Amino acid sequence: MTRLLVTGGAGFIGYHVSKYLLERGLEVVVFDNFSDYYSPHLKRMNAHEIEKLGAKIVDGDILNKKALASTIENERCRRVIHLAAQPGVRYSTINPDKSLRINVEGTSNVLNISRECNLDRVVVTSSSSVFGPTIFMPINEEHPKNPMSVYGVSKYTTELLVSVFRHLYPEFDTTIIRPFTVVGARQRPDMAINKFVSKVMTSSPITVFGDGSQTRDWTHVENMAQAFHLAALKPKAKNQDFNIGAGSRISVNVVLEMVSQITNRGLSIEYTEMNKADAKDTFADISKAKKLLGYDPKKNIYDAIEDFTEFWLKQFHSERMLKQEAQPATI
Q: Does domain 3-183+220-247+283-299 correspond to CATH entry 3.40.50.720?
A: yes
Domain ranges of the chain: 3-183+220-247+283-299
> Confidence band (pLDDT; 50, 70, 90) for 318?
low
Question: Is 70 exceeded by the pLDDT of residue 8?
Answer: yes
Name the band, by pLDDT with cuts 50, 70 and 90, for residue 2.
Answer: confident
What is the spatial distance between Cα 314 and Cα 304, in angstroms, rounded to a whole number?
15
Which pLDDT does position 210 carry in this prediction?
Answer: 94
pLDDT (0 to 100) of residue 326? 38
Give 110-154 pLDDT, tens digit per residue.
999 999 999 999 999 999 999 999 999 999 999 999 999 999 999
Mean pLDDT for the stretch of residues 274-291: 93
Of 151, 156, 271, 295, which one is the catalytic site residue? 151
Buried/exposed 112-135: b ≥16 CB within 10 Å, e otherwise:
ebbbebebbbbbbbbbbbbbbebe
pLDDT tens digits, one per residue of 177-192: 999 999 999 999 999 9
Give the whole-number percent of the chain exceeding pLDDT 70.
95
pLDDT given for residue 331 in this prediction: 31
Identify whether 169 is a catalytic site residue.
no
CA distance 165 to 171: 9
At residue 277, the pLDDT reads 79
